Chains A and B, each alone.
Chain A
Amino acid sequence: MIKKFYERFNESVYIIKLKNGMQVHILPKEEPYFTTYVELSVPFGALDLNYKDKEEMVSTPYGTAHFLEHKIFAMPDGDAFGKFSALGVDANAMTSYNQTSYLFVATKNVIEALTHLFNMIDTPYFTTENVDHEKHIIAEELKMYLDDPNVVMQNRLTEMMYHHHPLKYDIGGTLESIMDITSEILTNVYHNFYHPSNRLVTIAGKVDVKALRAFFKAYDQKNPIKQPKIKTVYPKEPRKLVLKNDVEIKDVGINKLMLGIKLVPSKLSKKDQIEKEIRITMMLNMLLGSSSITYAKLLEDKLINQSFFINTTFEKHAENILIYAESKKIMKLKKILMKILIEDASELLTKEAFDRYKKVYLGQFIYALNNLETKAYLYGKYQHLGFSLYDIVELLKEITYEQLIEELKGIQKKNIATLIYKKA
């Protein structure tokens, strides 16, 4: 077991590396503290659709990772939630583009709940009946999102941006794609991606390090086999857009605009990729964030309201920026945003704002450490990228104002897709 201490934040990390390849990272909180947060994650998410299984190429339907997340809770003797509840712990799961996480929050019975969590993960129980039954539940989940115009617009815009990359579809898949998921598909995926070698366990909060160490030692002895990691195969994605502009007439209260910038994905080291993501989000905040001159002017001219937001996605072989706004003068807003992004941006990014934003990012990092769930989730996310969460602060120091200006080159008119929902 390795121990690391980050003096500035008064945070420690214990790392246990099992012979089977699984890693356990323990982030203790000093007493008095009541809660323990446990997250078991595998680097298998919505984008991992195609892979090689014994030299044979396997393609799975959109939404497979999310479907599997639902079905992991099925056990031969019933739903796994029952036992978690009996132990008085709160269990949940989530799927992102690149990982699936199973978690519980406990104030007692941590080892018992951990035993149950591993029992659940190690007991795949996929039958034709329970898979078909789940299709109804997941269809309702997808329909719930489809009743939100923002989600519908985002789905449509990513389809306009991507030819083949799986990012073009929702994490949960589509109402059609989930119908093709079978128990055989889930079983195959499970055996290829859920084996212990692929698992990362993050435990934060109130911990008994000695008891945890004993638990994982015993688990390692029972499951000693290390398996090679399976690589996902991504389709080749052209740089150009599928469709540049689209206007649809809809029954909405106010016109809506979604603008998508398809960035050229970088072939950089993981460290450089994380730095790039920080640089671009910082640049966008300086350019269009709430303290920017641009934002103030857009508000003053009644071109945007409080629904305005920017979102960035940096995934394997796909990176993009989405900007969303509601406006009564939608065409004018589109024109102005395009001009800001393509022509005026470098003049609007000031060194003064850059210095302020460095402080903001440090603050945001500290806010994240204050929340157990956020801390453990981010820790796991960066760990899957081969990075420690605490090293991210060090990366911030290396970012320069000039680098931010350089990132603007990635935003080009030919790579911007716009979707407008015009009020009927």
Chain B
Amino acid sequence: MLLIKNDFKTIQFAIFFTDFDEERSSVYRFLLPRLLTSHTNKLINKTKMNEKLEDLYGAYFKTRVERIGNLSIVSIILTIVDPIIVSDNQLFDHALDLLNQVLFEHDAFDKEIFLEEQRMLIEQWETLYDKKRLYAHTKFYEHFFKDDTYGYPMSGTLKEIKKLTVEKIYDYYKNVFLSNTKKLIVNGRITDANKQKIENMMTHDIDNAKKHSFIAHFRPSRELLVIEEETQMQQAILKLGYHFPIFRDDLLYHAAVILDTILGGYPESRLFKEIREQDGLCYDISSSYDYYKGVIIVSSGVDLKQKDKALDAIKSLVVHMIEHGINDSELEHAKAYYTHQIKSGLDSQSFLTKRTFIRDLLNHNETIEERLIEIEKVTLADVEKALKKISLDTIYVLHGGQNDKEIL
């Protein structure tokens, strides 16, 4: 167990289950947290579970499945108010008991609840096309990360969801999930007595020392792949996937982060200033750097009639940046902005919980101070070196038809 002591007004109990990311287990890992937090042996249905959470001053579970390099992480986080503020000396014990039940006290999964969760997941797939941005994101991932687990749906495919049974998922829970590497992180105002309570109550194998070998990897760059898809919509959504083989532990990592900030990480970025402010082609435009996969993805919703112009403008902007580099003030502004983001994150309870987990998972010992020093050390030459590693790999465009009403 890792303890983060501070005086936030809430306490977070976060447990992370880590395993290798495999296509065949995606559907289980996606549905499991929903089932675990919906009922237990004692709280036999969702209504009972929700009543219990309400009784604990609106405590709530937040669950998530995410991919970090070659690993799949399932997190289940219970947040409660600080018992001292509500003068309730039973609250902490009740919360611990609930967490214990949710994680470990399931003699079976209720079949009706399973079928309900399965139905809702199927319906989520059936409405994917209605949510154009999410649809575009899903399709882009399919193409950009083809033959890579990143391209596989986090929830498993619709076919797999339909084939799943309550027996199979329970079997996975008992025989695979509970044997995952687990890490418990408690964040908030914790007394020594409460720490002892956690140790006494969480008797299961909560902090096994097993570590997975972490691999950050992506396929080599390939010839540019361009996919266009037409649908009924007002805008065009552009997704540009850039191959950018710089990973979290690489020497150029901090330069890569700064590069991404300058490209499309904030309102002073090149993409924001030129494509939106100068050319007026879009409202939203940004870039995001995945340092576990070594890629940069540029996303924007643009004027339908000017989608080709916008696409060319974005491509030219990146090429220009690769060829001509950046200037001093861009570097200094991006450093100031990024430094601020890191410092500001230290005031967020959820950020601290996640950061503590990642540091433990990847054996990172770098302190915040050391990280800030590394950022400060980044030079124009470092960013230019990083820029040379960018290559355009995949373009995906989802756009409306030509009969849309012209306003401007």
Report which of B58, B340, B341 forms a contact with A363, defined as CB distance below 8 A. B58
- The distance in angstroms between the C-alpha atoms of A307 and B127, with both chains bound, is 10
- The distance in angstroms between the C-alpha atoms of A190 and B63, with both chains bound, is 45
Contact A140 B337 (CB under 8 A): no
When each residue 1-39 of chain A gets 1 if its CB lies under 8 Å from chain B and 0 otherwise, what string results?
000000011000000000000000000011001110000
Q: Please choose the segment from B112-120, B317-325, B383-391 that sits at the chain A interface, where 4 or more of its residues have CB less than 8 A away.
A: B112-120
Contact B341 A136 (CB under 8 A): no
Report which of B133, B268, B344 forms a contact with A34, defined as CB distance below 8 A. B344
What's the nearest-Cβ distance from chain B to residue A251, in Å?
6
Report which of B127, B277, B304, B343 forms a contact with A254, defined as CB distance below 8 A. B127
Report which of A82, A90, A251, A302 forms a contact with B232, defined as CB distance below 8 A. A251
What's the nearest-Cβ distance from chain A to residue B34, in Å?
9
- The distance in angstroms between the C-alpha atoms of A410 and B64, with both chains bound, is 40
Whether A105 sits at the interface, judged by CB under 8 Å, is: yes
Choose among B234, B235, B282, B337 the residue with the greatest number of A CB atoms under 10 Å from its CB: B234
Whether A360 sits at the interface, judged by CB under 8 Å, is: yes
Given contacts A35-B347, A147-B235, A372-B347, contact A86 B283 (CB under 8 A): no
Contact A85 B341 (CB under 8 A): no
Whether A143 sits at the interface, judged by CB under 8 Å, is: yes
- The distance in angstroms between the C-alpha atoms of A322 and B163, with both chains bound, is 36
- The distance in angstroms between the C-alpha atoms of A339 and B282, with both chains bound, is 45
Given contacts A85-B337, A356-B51, A367-B10, contact A253 B85 (CB under 8 A): no
Contact A305 B124 (CB under 8 A): yes
Given contacts A87-B336, A290-B46, A291-B47, contact A362 B126 (CB under 8 A): no
Report which of B79, B280, B341 forms a contact with A90, defined as CB distance below 8 A. B341
Contact B9 A176 (CB under 8 A): no
Within 8 A of A (CB), among B1-29: 7-10
Contact A85 B333 (CB under 8 A): yes
Whether B74 sits at the interface, judged by CB under 8 Å, is: no
- The distance in angstroms between the C-alpha atoms of A139 and B266, with both chains bound, is 21
Task: List residues of chain B with CB within 8 A of the CB of A289.
Answer: 50
Whether A359 sits at the interface, judged by CB under 8 Å, is: yes
CB within 8 Å: A-B pair count = 187
Report which of B234, B266, B344 forms a contact with A107, defined as CB distance below 8 A. B344
Whether B200 sits at the interface, judged by CB under 8 Å, is: no
Report which of A33, A147, A372 forms a contact with B234, defined as CB distance below 8 A. A147
Whether A79 sits at the interface, judged by CB under 8 Å, is: yes
Contact B337 A90 (CB under 8 A): yes
Contact B10 A370 (CB under 8 A): yes
- The distance in angstroms between the C-alpha atoms of A30 and B235, with both chains bound, is 47
Whether A211 sits at the interface, judged by CB under 8 Å, is: no
Task: List residues of chain A with CB within 8 A of the CB of B408.
Answer: 135-136, 139, 179
Task: List residues of chain B with CB within 8 A of the CB of A370.
Answer: 8-10, 349
Contact A81 B267 (CB under 8 A): yes
Task: List residues of chain A with CB within 8 A of the CB of B226.
Answer: none
Task: List residues of chain B with CB within 8 A of the CB of A137.
Answer: 276-277, 280, 282-283
Whether B160 sits at the interface, judged by CB under 8 Å, is: no
Whether B81 sits at the interface, judged by CB under 8 Å, is: yes
- The distance in angstroms between the C-alpha atoms of A422 and B351, with both chains bound, is 42
Task: List residues of chain B with CB within 8 A of the CB of A79.
Answer: 273, 277
Within 8 A of A (CB), among B144-178: none
Whether A265 sits at the interface, judged by CB under 8 Å, is: no
Across the interface, name the chain A residue whose C-beta is closest to B347: A35
Count residues of A near B (Cβ-Cβ below 8 Å): 74
Contact A143 B234 (CB under 8 A): yes
Whether A61 sits at the interface, judged by CB under 8 Å, is: no
Whether A94 sits at the interface, judged by CB under 8 Å, is: no
- The distance in angstroms between the C-alpha atoms of A328 and B123, with both chains bound, is 9
What's the nearest-Cβ distance from chain A to residue B217, in Å?
33
Contact A356 B127 (CB under 8 A): no
Contact A82 B10 (CB under 8 A): no
Given contacts A34-B346, A359-B55, contact A296 B47 (CB under 8 A): yes
What's the nearest-Cβ distance from chain A to residue B335, in Å?
8
- The distance in angstroms between the C-alpha atoms of A166 and B50, with both chains bound, is 37
Whether B407 sits at the interface, judged by CB under 8 Å, is: yes
Across the interface, name the chain A residue whose C-beta is closest to B405: A175
Whether B65 sits at the interface, judged by CB under 8 Å, is: no
Whether B137 sits at the interface, judged by CB under 8 Å, is: no
Report which of B127, B233, B268, B302 forms a contact with A326, defined as CB distance below 8 A. B127
Whether A123 sits at the interface, judged by CB under 8 Å, is: no
Task: List residues of chain B with CB within 8 A of the CB of A146.
Answer: 234
- The distance in angstroms between the C-alpha atoms of A138 and B284, with both chains bound, is 10
- The distance in angstroms between the C-alpha atoms of A333 and B199, with both chains bound, is 48
Contact A148 B131 (CB under 8 A): yes
What's the nearest-Cβ distance from chain B to residue A339, in Å?
20
Whether B329 sits at the interface, judged by CB under 8 Å, is: yes
Given contacts A88-B339, A138-B283, A356-B55, contact A299 B46 (CB under 8 A): yes
Contact A293 B235 (CB under 8 A): no
When each residue 268-307 of chain B gets 1 if its CB lies under 8 Å from chain A and 0 otherwise, what string results?
1000010011001111100000000000000001111000
Given contacts A302-B119, A370-B8, contact A88 B340 (CB under 8 A): yes
A and B contact pairs by CB, cutoff 8 A, 16 listed: A82-B268, A90-B337, A107-B340, A135-B408, A136-B281, A147-B132, A254-B123, A254-B127, A290-B46, A293-B47, A305-B123, A362-B86, A363-B56, A364-B58, A366-B82, A367-B81
- Besides A140-B282, A359-B57, A366-B10, 15 more A-B contacts (Cβ < 8 Å) are A9-B9, A29-B347, A85-B266, A89-B340, A90-B266, A91-B267, A133-B280, A137-B282, A138-B283, A253-B128, A296-B46, A305-B124, A306-B124, A362-B86, A366-B82
